[in-house]
Structure 1
Amino acid sequence: MEILFEFQENVLRPVKNDFRRYLHNQINWKQRMIGIKGPRGAGKTTLMLQYLKFDLGLPPKALYITADHTWFYNHTLLDTANDWYKQGGKILFIDEVHKYENWSVELKNIYDGLPEMQVVFSASSALDIYRGEADLSRRVVSYLLAGLSFREYLAFTQGVSFDAFKIEDINSNHRSLSRMITEGFRPLPAFRKYLEVGYLPIIVEGEDTYLMKLNQVINTIVDIDLAYIVSYNSGTAVKVKKLLGVIAESVPFKPNIAALARKLDLSRDSVYQYIYQLQDARLLNTLSSEGKGVSTLQKPDKIFLENTNLAFALKEKPDIGNIRETFVLNQLLNAGLKVNSPAEGDFAISGLTIEVGGKGKNTSQVKHLDNYLIAADDIEIGAGNKVPIWLFGFLY
């Protein structure tokens, strides 16, 4: 196993501890089996390596491996865990587990057969950990790592740190929160940059190449991740990319499934299936009215790109109104809030209606409602029910 030990040393060496994702402190690291899902580039690998290097302090009983290592050309995951256990190993970190064919069966065998072994693994957000060939529902505790919030982007790129707020804080105290943040900092220029190139930590590699790399991420998700997980072939991948392109042209998209099926030469069921697979892969978000069931054959009321950066990667000049709505929905969902499509306004969260717009957005559409907010762009501090839209980027 020397090759694995050497690999671990090489990947740990450059890992720094100057910025940690929000999820780090939410994970119960004492669980026997932990799954960390999330979109490509969100920082799952770094999160695990930071915990191994700085929290555990490089213990001799912890080993980091990646499921696409050449080691697995002629070794199984179960055999590797067994060999590591015999050498005194207690913790096994497995990166990109979805790239290992029998991942669920062998994880179950490790859990059942090595009761003193803790396993922490990462996987594509498109992977349904609980529906593999083996039942892991009683064994694994799963967490989702989203892309950077606006709050995290500021800490990551500018060293400006603030605590996260709850939606109730924004609803009741947004003026004080905005004043506190803007005392020595002008958020609007950074917010513009975040909307375009700030959602994934790859921003640290340079703004000029960010959108090019994001396009590569999109292609990798469809061509490789979904190919592993739902057996896409090259022809299917092309059709899925066309569907994504059609949606990107007109988000927020009110889907006409029959028209999409004709345009892409697909069955209606295939269109539904691909939409929800792209949602699982964190390339789309869907929005339905309250009480409406969610299934792969249920038409959502609206379809959004998962984050605003995708709009700039897939379309030369995306509509600013669409960008605003995409941002608010993205931050609400990533904060773990249940969001529905209301009869009036843009978004509904357990009795609170949110209407999204520009600086001059008025309350005519929602003022008769009991509990509402206007998420307004291009303002630093709000008044009454009008809240700066960027403040929703502090929810996680």
Structure 2
Amino acid sequence: WKRYDLLKIPIGPGSVRVPCEQDVPLPFQRSHDRTHVLVSLGKVPAMGLRRYALTETTGQSPASSSDCLQVTPDHLENRFFRLRLDETGAIVSIWDKRYGREMIAEGARANSFQIFEDRPMANEAWDIDIYYQNKTIELKELVSSMPVEHGPLRGGLKQQRKFLSSQILQYIYIYDEIPRIDFITEIDWRQHQTLLKTAFPLNLHSTRAAYEIPFGVIERPTHWNTDWDKARFEVAAQKWADLSEGDYGVSLLNDCKYGYDVKDNVIRLTLIKSGIDPDPMADIGLHRFSYALYPHSGDWRIGGTVRMAYEFNYPLMLYPMAGPPLAGSDDSYSFVTSSSDNLVVETVKKAEDRPGLIIRVYETYNQRGHASLIFGEKLKKAVACNCLEEEQGPVDFHDYTLKFYIKPFQLRTFYVEF
């Protein structure tokens, strides 16, 4: 799919070079630490690239009107959301302007750091016993909170917290064009046998939550009505978990933390587990990770959670290049595009024992039907394969298009030559 995102370009002191169109610089802003410039890019082709000329500038973006981005220690606002924070730095309200919805449960505190004593009966490095919740501390000590960025593309709030000898540094970012709230986090953790989670009590009602697993999605109950429901209190997931009711939902995305739990209307993400056996220093030291809140209409399918999670985990990359214009009229190129919203090209790699490429795609919505891949080069050969890259039979292809049938959550592999 075509991407809109912010590109980070490293810079030094003085003037900066930013991409331009028709000799006009694209919207940009300097990062708070002055090490990068953020540039607004749109319509970057699927699995491809778009080339821009660079122009030198010394000022701020020509589109520097940041009236829609407001940042104070207790308030963040853009065209999508209005956030209110209390004196501890927790979020007490997120108003979604698009749908006229309050996201946070009444009287609750979101992005709240919760600390638990973690002493499981066995396998301390791996197991979490359900009774960990009997000893809970909610971290309320906010050392400082200050705005660090204020548009035109991004607004940021820097928060510092302390728990005993551990330090938590977090940047909360909102965007002018991206309907997502990012939490960029750095923790120097010094406590043993503790479990650290962040919690989001949501203004939603659903008896089931959805979690991404490899090449698919599973659902788990949000209640403990039975013993087997209660036994599944922690769920392993990949890039996201989602809680949705009929016409609205919220996804919690992550870039490297894979333990979730959802009980009733509260969705939590496990951040640190510092056991002492077999490694007495497990998780002690510096951690850098990010998670994000993504409110959306409908459920995770309608809301586009799968795509947003990919975009959160795989930001646009800068690649210097030279040479003549690309084949496309807008100086862009797409290697491969899928025909359906529910189809993801997960892998492109060189074949192990042949000159061509291996393409792996999977279905994300639990739906079946006909699909196609449109390549940027003319196909000479295409065959279906298994995951060991062994040929399984012919596949329908003509010129630039490969057609096939896919089942719910199916992973399909093809060998192609151009």
Per the normalisation by structure 2, the TM-score is 0.25
Structure of higher RCO (CA pairs closer than 8 Å, 6+ residues apart): 1
Per the normalisation by structure 1, the TM-score is 0.26
